[in-house]
Amino acid sequence: MTPAPNDLGTHAWVERTGGRLSAAERRSLLRPLARTHLSYAAGRLSMLMRVNSGRRAPVTTGRRPLPSSALTRAAEDLATRRLTAAMLNHSHRTFAFGAALGEVDDLDVDRELLFAAALLHDIGLPTSDRDDFTRESARAARDVAEDVGLSTAATDILRSAITLHHSPGVSLAHGTVAYLLAAGAALDVVGLRSWQLPPEVIAAVVAAHPRAGFRREFSTAFRTEATRVPRGRAAFLRRYGALDLAVKAAPFRG
């Protein structure tokens, strides 16, 4: 495992910068974004040709009980109170898809931390002001963690997973929770790595947590975020990642 090159996207970076990218940081994100574009194109082509690897992947998501602890209950309670139905369902799908991709990658992950991160990662999106929305999301996660007595180390993992989740190129060097949170969110938003999961698993997750209205609501919220923080990662993804088009082209309805 190679070390993360810097702290870009971590909760410490977001607190220090408000989520505003320097020119050098923007340039540093172009290469991982280009790799993502290539992976996406190849993966979607494999789905069209019906040669994608996920058709028969041994994934048990949906057959395992959800993690249950003071942390997960508190995170779900806050998410239920703060998020719309469409965004709450997205949060649940993010956990399910992240956990499923963890099985594909044969990774051992703290499912409680992944669940809490997934439920809280977009808490700040509808309400953030001048800073990157993940700053508010991470602060909400910190408050939940403090209320349930989570350790400092686990709280740091939770907060940075949340602030990293929409950075291009999140890898295992950033930690398993951050890696799978980013992967699960990207799958649900644009379909990235959807070709690595069995279609019936994806269908079951969507049936359990319907997408109704998500595409439109998410796109509107992300456009607002990009306008509020023009040097932030949302603006970067919309400009260089063709995010609006990717959301429309995602292999989902709703």
Q: Distance between CA 126 and CA 143 in Å, rounded?
A: 19
Question: What domains, with CATH codes, occur in the chain?
Answer: 23-52+67-249 (1.10.3210)
pLDDT at position 68 over 80: yes
Q: What are phi and psi of 200, to 5 degrees?
A: -70, -30
The number of angstroms, rounded, from the C-alpha of 153 to the middle of its chain's C-alpha atoms is: 21
pLDDT at position 226 over 70: yes
pLDDT of residue 62: 63
Confidence band, pLDDT 50/70/90 cuts, at residue 50:
confident
Give the rounded percent of residues in the chain with a pLDDT score beyond 90.
86
pLDDT of residue 22: 97
For tokens 């998500």, what's the residue?
214
Confidence band, pLDDT 50/70/90 cuts, at residue 53:
confident
Instruction: List pLDDT tens digits, range 70-82.
Output: 999 999 999 999 9
Q: pTM score, two decimals?
A: 0.94
